[in-house]
Structure 1
Amino acid sequence: MKFTFFVSFLLLVTCFATFGQEEQSRKVKKHSSAVVEKGLIKVSVMYPFEEGKTFDMAYYETKHMPMVVGFLGSNLVKYTIEKGLASGIPNTPLPFMAIGTFYVKSLSDYQAAIGPNRDAIRSDFPNYTNISPVIFVSEVVR
Structure 2
Amino acid sequence: MKTKITLLVLAVVTILASCQHSASADSSKIKKGIIKVTILYPNSEGKTFDMDYYSNKHMPMVANLLGDSLKLLSIDKGIAGRAPEEPIPYLAIGYLYFDKLSDYQNSFGPNAEKIVGDIPNYTNIQPVVQISEVFQ
TM exceeding 0.5: yes
The residue aligned with 1:126 is 120
Aligned to 2:39: 45
- The structure whose Rg is larger is 1
One-letter code aligned to 2:59:
M
Matched residue type, 1:59: Y
Does 2:131 align with 1:137?
Answer: yes
Where does residue 97 of structure 1 map in the other structure? Answer: 91
Deviation string, structure 1 residues 11-55 (Cα, Å, up to 9, x no partner): xxxxxxxxxxxxxxxxxxxxxx85521110000000000111110
Deviations 1:62-88 (A, max 9, x none): 110011111222222211011001112
Aligned length: 110
1:74 and 2:68 are equivalent in the alignment? yes
Report the Cα distance in structure 1 between the residues aligned to 2:116 and 2:131, rounded to whole angstroms: 18
1:82 partner amino acid: D
Looking at structure 1, the residues matched to 53 and 115 of structure 2 have their Cα atoms a distance apart, in angstroms, of: 13
Moved over 6 A (4+): none
TM-score (norm 1): 0.73
User: What SS is found at the alignment partner of 2:33?
Assistant: coil
Q: Secondary structure at the match of 2:112?
A: helix
Give RMSD over aligned pairs. Answer: 1.4
* 1:52 alignment partner, SS class: coil
Secondary structure in structure 2 of the residue aligned to 1:137: strand
**Is 1:108 equivalent to 2:102 in the alignment?**
yes
Q: State the TM-score, normalized to the length of structure 2.
A: 0.76
- Percentage identity across aligned positions? 52
- The runs of 5 or more residues in structure 1 that have no matched partner are 1-32
